[in-house]
Amino acid sequence: MDIFSNEDTEKYDRADALKVFDETKAGVKGLVDAGVTKIPRIFIRPHDELVEELNSSKVSLQIPIIDLTGSEKGDRRKEIVEQIRVASETWGFFQVINHEIPKSLLDETIDCIRMFHEQESEIKMKFYSRDRMNKVRFDSNLDLYQSRAANWRDTLTLSMFILDDLNPDEVPSICRETMLEYIKHVTKFGGTLLELLSEALGLRPHHLQDLECCHGRTFVCHYYPPCPEPELTLGSSKHTDPSFLTLLLQDNIGGLQVRHHDQWTDVPPLAGGFVVNIGDFLQIVSNDKFKSVDHRVLANHNGPRISMACFFTGVAVPPKIYGPIKELTLQSDGSTPVYQDFLLRTLMCMFMCHTHDGIFGPFTMQRSTSLRF
């Protein structure tokens, strides 16, 4: 059998196969629990991607690690701001250590995500939904019916994108207390990072916060089961994030990769640390000064891998106009706006209408040509 097709002699109906998988409401973990030794064809990456992967190279580079100790004031703060500026301009990614969130809470958060995904399927099914308006939902592959290949991943989503609040009673009881505490801490920490990023852009500390970039938030709790054929699929396909800023907590399994200088490089887990990446919206408002870059997650024989990403998405309701920050387009070097102003909801609708891969998919600047002048 050709490993690039994984076909047998029977007629294959992808739409039907997707529907059958979706209707189990058990996700990828349901397949693993059933003892699959070959991944279903809906998860196998297209032939062209697999061939490209065989011919591509991965480099061993170290993404920036920034120690936030002493970030409150003085020369140390200036040093940290400069490190963040360089990382945001050249990588679009960095890791931070010695932040303000207790490691014990981070460990508890990873544990409670595991507990949710590993509880009885009948309990999880109560949260299963493809309605993106549901503030709390469990699913496998947000873009299941649009993607070229499904990803080897299940997700619990807690969304505060439209309304910036969350009814505690809606959060699954098995992880409610820890999740709510984590959300509180990460929201505050996101504000701290936005202050540092504002200064890195040469703006006053509260500039990005005053734009309410920290207002809307979506938390996605990913569960990547061990995969019997990891070379044929991905945990998360190549994508950028439709957000201002993303904070990622990951366990010690690894698999996250960043595209840097047209090559993939690993982002190794860092105990007690966060991965921080620039989102599409911040690339726009920074007028291309900060970069939103492609990243992905490899599938793995080991597992489960667990991570939690917080996307800071800004204000969708009531409608709020965003665009390149004027202070960054009126400089002595002759900088002019690269993008038009936009409504956040319009941009998100454009993203939702694209065929894309990954939890949020590749809503890249190149695709969003209508936003460029």
* Domain assignment present for 254: yes
Given pLDDT bands bounded at 50, 70 and 90, which one contains residue 162? confident
* Domain assignment present for 2: no
Environment class of 367 (CB within 10 Å of its CB; exposed 0-12, middle 13-18, buried 19+): middle
* Domain assignment present for 74: yes
Q: Give the mean model confidence (pLDDT) for residues 19-27.
A: 97
What letters, b where the CB count within 10 A reaches 16 and e where it falls short, cover 1-35? eeebebeeeeeeeeeeebeebbeebbbbbbbbeee
Decide if pLDDT at 10 tops 70: no
Given pLDDT bands bounded at 50, 70 and 90, which one contains residue 351? low
* Domain assignment present for 3: no
Sheet holding 295-298, edge to edge: 234-239, 295-298, 256-260, 263-266
* Domain assignment present for 245: yes
CA dihedral sign, ordered 90, 92, 93, 94: positive
* Domain assignment present for 37: yes
Domain hosting residue 86, numbered range: 14-371
Contact of 323 with 285, CB cutoff 8 Å: yes
* Domain assignment present for 356: yes
Task: Give the per-residue pLDDT at 101.
Answer: 97
Q: What is the dihedral of CA 141, 34, 304, 263, to 10 degrees?
A: -50
CA dihedral sign, ordered 344, 349, 350, 355: positive
Taking the C-alpha atoms of residue 161 and residue 352, their distance in angstroms, rounded to an integer, is: 14
Look at the block and give the residue holding tokens 């409504």.
343
Name, in order, each residue with C-beta under 8 angstroms of 91's C-beta and a sequence gap of 6 or more.
63, 64, 258, 260, 291, 293
Environment class of 262 (CB within 10 Å of its CB; exposed 0-12, middle 13-18, buried 19+): exposed
* Domain assignment present for 190: yes
Q: What is the CATH number of the domain that holds 340?
A: 2.60.120.330
Per residue in 257-316, pLDDT (tens digit) is 999 998 999 999 999 999 999 999 999 999 999 999 999 999 999 989 999 999 999 988
State the chain's maximal CA–CA distance in angstroms: 69
Q: Which is higher by pLDDT, 5 or 152?
A: 152
Contact of 341 with 321, CB cutoff 8 Å: yes
Q: Give the mean model confidence (pLDDT) for residues 334-341.
A: 84
Per residue in 73-86, pLDDT (tens digit) is 899 999 999 999 99
Cα angle 294-297-302, degrees, rounded to a multiple of 5:
165
Q: How many structural domains are present in the chain?
A: 1
Given pLDDT bands bounded at 50, 70 and 90, which one contains residue 346? confident
The H or E element that residue 16 is part of is helix 14-24
Given pLDDT bands bounded at 50, 70 and 90, which one contains residue 11? confident
Per residue in 107-126, pLDDT (tens digit) is 999 999 999 999 999 999 99
Chain mean pLDDT for the chain: 90
